[in-house]
Structure 1
Amino acid sequence: MNRISCTLVSVLLALAVVKASQASEPAGQQVTAAGMQSSAVGPADFFTGRVRVDPLYSANQNINASGAYVTFEPGARSAWHTHPEGQYLVVVAGVGRTQEWGKPVQEIKAGDVVWCPPGVKHWHGAASNVAMTHLAVTGTKEGKNVQWMEKVSDEQYASR
């Protein structure tokens, strides 16, 4: 085959790939195997105590939300923060606490679902003597999903 024929075949193959990618059928499922994303330590600037974040998925062009498991050791908690598009927390293990600014601390347990509306200042973490893990599903706006604020004081954490 001469160079012109090889070039023509390459162009035709490239056009076929482009046309196939523009087909109206949706893309297939994607599976991210467990353990393919590394756990991270919750940064001390945004958390008090030992916190582990296990990312699950990022926001993308198809769904404007990210997901992660967050595990708080006893007494650990987030700083005060807001979410521009809100956040769902699904408690999957243990006992925790959450508080909206100006309201009392609430206890949360495995099976509870917490809705944190957009722009509402709040924090969440573990109970003082029991760890807590929640699934966080967090909306994203213009590439941002959280606005961190001041840390929760020991007095705020202990209040009821």
Structure 2
Amino acid sequence: MDITLVQGDITKQHVDAIVNAANSSLMGGGGVDGAIHRNGGPEIIEECRRLRATEYGAGLPIGEAVATTAGRLPARWVIHTVGPVHSPFEDRSELLASCYRQSLRVAESLGARTVAFPAIGTGIFGWPLADGARVAIDAVRACDAAVTEARFVLFDASAYAVFEAAL
């Protein structure tokens, strides 16, 4: 699998699947999650409501992933995953790595060949960017999913530089 880096807006990526750094409610929020829900339109939230009414009544667990339509986004699917909140007292890096692995497994099950990732957990969940980049790159490199490209879409030049150093 090729790993590429792009500075830009994840909602503008022409890929098979965009990964959403979601909250467990699947009902949208701030940051990447809010942008995906706003730009993707009501189709995404409608599918998220169905998921909450059925198999994810208690919300999507941390480290797991589930797909919905991408609505009005240029991708076919949105893969929602919930990252862990960073803790200086407990190593939660395995949960963060699971977000990337499970997202790639869901992508593979859909037949997606190209997947765009944000820097999961590095926003409001407080994960230090350099460590988040290391965990992300290592998890994607170690995953054997049948995906041809894992694209990290970084919002600004400083995040891009941190991921470039990790790569």
Provide the TM-score with structure 2 as the length reference.
0.27
Q: Greater relative contact order (Cα 8 A, min sep 6): structure 1 or 2?
A: 2
Which has more radius of gyration?
1
Provide the TM-score with structure 1 as the length reference.
0.28
Structure with a larger share of its residues in strand: 1
Structure with a larger share of its residues in helix: 2
